[in-house]
Amino acid sequence: MRAAIAAAMTRSKREIPHYYLGSEIEVERALQWLEDFNASRPLAERVLFAALALRAVALALREVPDLNGQFVDGRFRRSEAIHVGVVTSLRGGGVVVPAVHDADRLTLPELMASLRDVVARARSGRLRSSDLADSTITLTNLGDLGVETVYGVIYPPQVALVGLGRVVSRAAVRDGAIVATRVVHATLSGDHRVTDGLSGARFLAALRARFDDPEAP
């Protein structure tokens, strides 16, 4: 496992000219909306912030599609489908990146169910080959472990990786008053062969807009 990860990351750093962008995104409105959304649902059917973030990433990719696809045989192949690979730690050590397929087309409960399914199958060794080969972008979220900022290495042949840290409270000024709000630090690792900082900045702006309006289709 470690040898396979090392080979993939060495190839990535050798072949892909990375650029990195980061932005602090306010998620107070999204979290309050999610709390209301879960209030009437049974405990087993409640949606976690991870699924809401997955949906935000998928929908932001609709607006910046040049980050969604694979670089194969010397050229970028943009994907019409959005399959988000989710970095998943294994109980015995190491990580895998199974895909949540058509993430932009699923409802929030469907995304939560799909996320639970691929994580459970990954940790029990029941992944299919398509789960590991189809990803068009990767999302890594280390917030549960207390990490605030993640600068990831792109998983080839993809051309971008999104990193999310933990949700933290911050002081913000609104209408001249200091209030508490919750934020998350989002980062983008991009492939300079395909996009540049302008495209990456547009993606992070689109991601911010999705958290500002979690109900938007």
Domains in the chain, CATH or no CATH each: 2-212 (3.30.559.10)
**Predicted local distance difference test score (pLDDT) of residue 21:** 98
pLDDT of residue 32: 96
Strands 95-96 and 88-89: antiparallel
Burial readout 55-91 (b: 16 or more C-beta within 10 A, e: otherwise): bbbbbbbeebebbbbbbeeeebeebeebbbbbbbeee
Which pairs with CB-CB distance under 8 Å and at least 24 residues apart come from 109-112? 109/45, 109/47, 111/47, 111/51, 111/54, 111/55, 112/47, 112/48, 112/51
pLDDT of res. 4:
84
**Could you list the mean pLDDT of each consecutive 10-residue stretch along the chain, which spans 217 residues?**
87 96 96 95 93 98 97 95 95 89 96 95 88 93 91 95 96 88 97 97 98 91
pLDDT at residue 144 in the model? 85
